[in-house]
Chain A
Amino acid sequence: GQSLEQPSEVTAVEGAIVQINCTYQTSGFYGLSWYQQHDGGAPTFLSYNALDGLEETGRFSSFLSRSDSYGYLLLQELQMKDAASYFCAGEMDSSYKLIFGSGTRLLVRP
């Protein structure tokens, strides 16, 4: 079947680095996206990996390994405002059908 697995919750300290992992099982996989959602808000796009390797956007980086069906989101210099839920998402069956993981809630401690 098609699925993306993430840890349900991660806790880190302000100023630290945190990694949120995502493993997937799917056919016709195009690439892996990451979205951020604050409580009560709508998801917003963070990054996309079509190819293996690391993509960097400011404090956020995203990594993909197709051979391992695995990716991660790396957040550096954590700030309190980064406390949110983070979702990985993949395009399945070579279509526009974007499927989301169940999300990782990031807690940031002072």
Chain B
Amino acid sequence: NAGVTQTPKFQVLKTGQSMTLQCAQDMNHNSMYWYRQDPGMGLRLIYYSASEGTTDKGEVPNGYNVSRLNKREFSLRLESAAPSQTSVYFCASSDGSGQGGEKLFFGSGTQLSVL
């Protein structure tokens, strides 16, 4: 059982380049999330998708776009990368039952450097 799979694991971009981070989960979860984590800091929510077909902004959405392609997949796109977007990106999923206590399952992360 793979859980949450993110690709790529590492990426180096030049300022202004674009790229898409891919995320897929095989747990039949309704909700999916993208977080970024900067050194020595907590996770900040970029976007989330409570269910297939819906997406909502989190704490730091500027400079990013997302697509909930289907129930399994949730991608994060950087249209024009900036050095401030250098970070570790985590995708996560949860059952999304709406009862509270969402238990998030995280992917292994993508380390992104923008030069």
CA distance A48 to B104 in the complex (A): 11
Choose, from A13-21, A71-79, A92-100, the stretch at the interface.
A92-100
Q: Which residues of B contact A35 (CB under 8 A)?
A: 104
Asked if B45 CB lies within 8 Å of chain A CBs, one says yes
Q: Which residues of B contact A91 (CB under 8 A)?
A: 100-102
Task: Find out whether the CB atom of B45 lies under 8 angstroms from the CB atom of A50.
Answer: no
Task: Find out whether the CB atom of B42 lies under 8 angstroms from the CB atom of A101.
Answer: yes
**Chain B interface helix/strand/loop/mixed:** loop
Measured as residues with beta carbon below 8 angstroms from the partner, the interface class of chain B is 20 to 34
A31-B33 in contact given A98-B45, A100-B43 (Cβ < 8 Å): no
| Shortest distance between the CB of A4 and any CB in chain B (Å) | 8
Task: Find out whether the CB atom of B31 lies under 8 angstroms from the CB atom of A96.
Answer: yes
Cross-interface CB contact of B56 among A97, A98, A100, A101, cutoff 8 Å: A97
Could you tell me which residues of chain B, from 65 to 115, have a CB within 8 Å of some CB in chain A?
90, 94, 96, 98, 100-109
Task: Find out whether the CB atom of A98 lies under 8 angstroms from the CB atom of B108.
Answer: no
Task: Find out whether the CB atom of A102 lies under 8 angstroms from the CB atom of B100.
Answer: no
Could you tell me which residues of chain B, from 12 to 66, have a CB within 8 Å of some CB in chain A?
31, 33, 35, 40-45, 48, 50, 56, 58-59
- Kindly report which residue of chain B lies nearest to residue A45, judged by CB atoms: B103
Chain A 51-77 near chain B by CB (<8 Å), digits 1 or 0: 000000000000000000000000000
A-binding residues in B (CB < 8 A)? 31, 33, 35, 40-45, 48, 50, 56, 58-59, 90, 94, 96, 98, 100-109
Identify 19 new A-B residue pairs, CB closer than 8 A, beyond the known A100-B35, A100-B43: A30-B101, A33-B103, A35-B104, A42-B90, A43-B104, A44-B106, A45-B103, A45-B104, A48-B101, A48-B103, A95-B50, A95-B56, A96-B48, A96-B96, A96-B102, A97-B48, A98-B33, A98-B104, A99-B45
